[in-house]
Amino acid sequence: MKFNKIIIAFAALGLLTSCSSRNTLFSDEVNAVESTNWHVHDVQVIVPDSLTTSEVNILRPNVDIVWHGEPRGDRRQQVGTILHDALVVSAESLIPENLHRPVVIEATLIQFHSLTPRARSLVGGIHKVKFSIQVVDQKTGELLAGPTVIEADEFAFGNWKAVRADADGQTMKVRISNRIAEVVSAWLGLAAAENAVEQGRIYGIGR
């Protein structure tokens, strides 16, 4: 599948919503009848410059972006790409161009808090991913769904379980990507199991 245009944009924007509420039961979940008439023309992800990140190797860094699942580099670019690619997967059935209404999926990252090497070597924890998402008409800009805050958390293996998961191909990146795709697919009205949305957030200690 190939979009006419794929953009991962980085801008200094404020958070779109409060981070304190539990945003996993969506009153505005997309109607499946409506969404299956869409053709996804583009997927755009914004990672605000205001999101903090750090390479410090402690149990729970007090920053917005913690990511050590790829070689050291531009962490905002890396997590933005993960979110973007997972959104593409979540909308796979909306890609064919014979569907009549071209739309754009827009997402803004709020938090991407994975494990540091130290935390992963000891006890594991929770991968916490939070973002705002909306769908707009590609031609008119009309808002069709959202904005909605999605929390796509996933259990994070630690110690020998993490080593075994990596050996089986279930890396942190794979597990996080699959979880995002599962929850967004449910939000789009494409998933059979509603509990993908209802169980999107996993409570844990810390950020």
Give residue 13's pLDDT: 33
Name all domains of the chain by residue range, CATH numbers in brackets.
Answer: 7-13+23-198 (3.40.50)
Interatomic CA distance for residues 139 and 34, integer angstroms: 17
Q: DSSP letter string over 15-64?
A: -SS-SSS---S-TTPPPHHHHTTEEEEEEEEE--TTS-B----SSS-SSS
> 17, 75 in Cβ contact below 8 A?
no
Give residue 75's pLDDT: 96
The rounded average pLDDT for each run of 10 residues, N- to C-terminus, in the chain (207 residues) is: 46 30 44 67 94 94 96 96 95 68 93 94 92 93 90 91 91 95 86 47 45
Give residue 123's pLDDT: 85
Give residue 120's pLDDT: 92
Q: For the purposes of burial, counting CB atoms within 10 Å of the CB of 34, is it exposed (0-12), middle (13-18) or buried (19 or more)?
A: middle
Give residue 41's pLDDT: 87
Smallest CA-to-CA distance from 60 within 205, 172, 168 is with: 205
pTM of the complete model:
0.78
